[in-house]
Amino acid sequence: MKSVDHSAIVILGASGDLARRKLIPALDSLKQSGRIGENCVVVGSGRKEFSDEEFRSHVDASPAIAPLLHYHAGIPGLKAYLGGLGRFETVIVFFSLPPKVYADTAAALEEEGFGEETRIIVEKPFGYDVESSRELNRRLAEHFPEVNIYRIDHYLAKEAVQNILVFRFANSLFYPTWNSGYIESIQINASEELGVESRGSYFDGAGVLRDMVQNHLMQMLSLMTMEAPVTLESEDIRVQKVNVLKALEVVRFARGQYEGYRSEPMVDPDSTTETYAELELRIRNFRWEGVPVYIRTGKALGRKGTEIGIRFKKLPKLLYNHDGNLEPNRIIFQIQPTTGIVIDHTVKVPGTDRTIAQSQLDFCLSDAFGPPVVEDAYQRLLMDALDGDRTLYVSAQETELAWKVLEEVVNQDELFLYRRGSMPKSALGVDWIDFTGYQSGC
C-alpha cells in the first residue's frame, strides 16, 4: 500500500460544500487507511475567517483527520503560513472554486511564491468551448507547467472505467476482435433519472453536451477505442487517447429538452439548453473506419445508468443462423450504478436437438472481490496527485481536442421535446441496445 509523507494539501474554497461533503471525507479515509502520514497537513483557505477549531467543526472533521486540519483566510500570506507548519516536499492546491477564477487564482499562487513543488487540481467545466479552453490553458501555463496541472475527470477514477484497459489489453481472447472487422457499433449510454433539481443555474449555462459528453463520455470513448500504449505510464496512455480524439468527428446529432424544464428553478423560461443529446460519431483511422460510435445522454429519462455496449457483427446466414434471426454477440460494460461486465452469447437449450437461446456471462466486481472494492473517486484522484501520477487526469490537449470535436454541435438551438421520466425514441433512428435488459446482479 502506497503512502505519502511530508506533503501538504491546500483546499481553496474550503468553506464550501465540496470540501465538507467530498474532499475532507476522502482525505479522512486516506488518513485512516495509512496512506497519508502524520507529517502531512491539510490547510483550508477561503474568504471566511475561521480558527483551526472552527474550521474542523465546520467540516465535521473526525478525530482521525482533525489534527491535520488547519485554516488560513485568503491566499496572501498562505505560503508563509504553510512554511510555519513544516517543510513539505509536495504541495497540492485544490481549486474548489468557480472556473472563471482559475487563471487569476493561479497567478495569485505564483505571486505568493508557490513554485515547482506545487501541483494544482482544477475541476470541470474546463472552458466553455474551443476558444475559452485554449485561453484558460494558455493563462494557466503562464504560471504553472503542464506537468503540474491536474484536470479532474471523475469518471476516470471509477473502477469500471479503469477496467476497460485491463479487459482490452490483458485478455488475448478479445484483443484480436477489437476492430471494424468484427464490431458493428459502439454505443455509450448515460441516463439520469432526475431532472436538473437544484442545479438549474449551472446546468442552464452548460447543457448535457458540455456537462457530460465533452469530458466523461469522450474519455470513456477514448479508452474503449485507443491503440495499445507502449507502457502504462500516464504520458503513453495520453498519447493514444489524443490520437483517437484527433480522428474523431460528429456525423449526426440531435438535441432534446424534457417537458417542463423551462419551469425549473433558476432556468431561463426561454432556454434552448439541451437536457438530452444523441450523437453518431466516426473514428477516421484504420482500426475503426466504418464503425459508428453512438452516444446518448440526458436527464429525466426515468432510469439511472451508464453503460458501454459493444455490438458485434451478425453471423452469415449459415448453420444455426440460416434464417438470419440469430442475435449478434454483445459486451456490456456497466459503469454505474452497478459495476460489472456482461457478455451476451448463444447457447444450446439443454434437452433439445438444435434449439438455441441467448445467455449471459456475468462478471460483478463486488461479488468477485468483496464490497470494499470501490473507493471514492476523490480518494483515488487526491492520492494520485500526491504521487504525481497523472494517468487519471486530463491534459490540455485532450480538453481542446474534445471541444473541437463538438464545436459545431454545442452552439445549436434546434430542440425536440420529450416526456419527463421516459427515454425518447431515437431521434437518429439508431437501433439502441436495450441496456435495461443487462443487469449483472451486483
Structural domains of the chain ordered from first start: 7-123 (3.40.50.720), 156-370+394-437 (3.30.360.10)
Nearest alpha-carbon partner for 188 in 422, 435, 408: 435
* Residues 335/306, Cβ–Cβ less than 8 Å: yes
Q: Report the pLDDT value the prediction gives residue 439, as an integer from 0 to 100.
A: 65
Q: How much is the pTM? A: 0.91
Q: Report the pLDDT value the prediction gives residue 441, as an integer from 0 to 100.
A: 59
Catalytic residue among 143, 216, 322, 345: 216
Nearest alpha-carbon partner for 423 in 413, 432, 410: 432
Active-site residue 216, yes or no? yes
Q: Report the pLDDT value the prediction gives residue 368, as an integer from 0 to 100.
A: 73
Q: Report the pLDDT value the prediction gives residue 375, as an integer from 0 to 100.
A: 62
Q: Report the pLDDT value the prediction gives residue 323, as an integer from 0 to 100.
A: 86
Nearest alpha-carbon partner for 372 in 339, 335, 342, 336: 339
In a structure prediction context, what are the per-residue pLDDT tens digits for the chain, which is 442 residues long? 567 888 999 999 999 889 999 999 999 999 998 999 889 999 999 999 999 999 999 999 999 999 999 999 999 999 999 999 999 999 999 999 999 999 999 999 999 999 989 999 999 889 999 999 999 999 999 999 999 999 999 889 888 898 999 999 999 999 999 999 999 999 999 999 999 988 888 899 999 999 999 999 999 999 999 999 999 999 999 999 999 999 999 999 999 999 999 999 999 999 999 999 999 999 999 999 999 999 999 999 999 999 999 999 998 888 888 888 888 999 999 998 888 899 998 888 888 888 888 888 888 877 777 664 446 789 999 999 999 999 999 999 999 999 999 998 998 889 999 999 999 999 999 999 999 877 655 6
Q: Report the pLDDT value the prediction gives residue 4, as an integer from 0 to 100.
A: 85
* Residues 344/365, Cβ–Cβ less than 8 Å: no
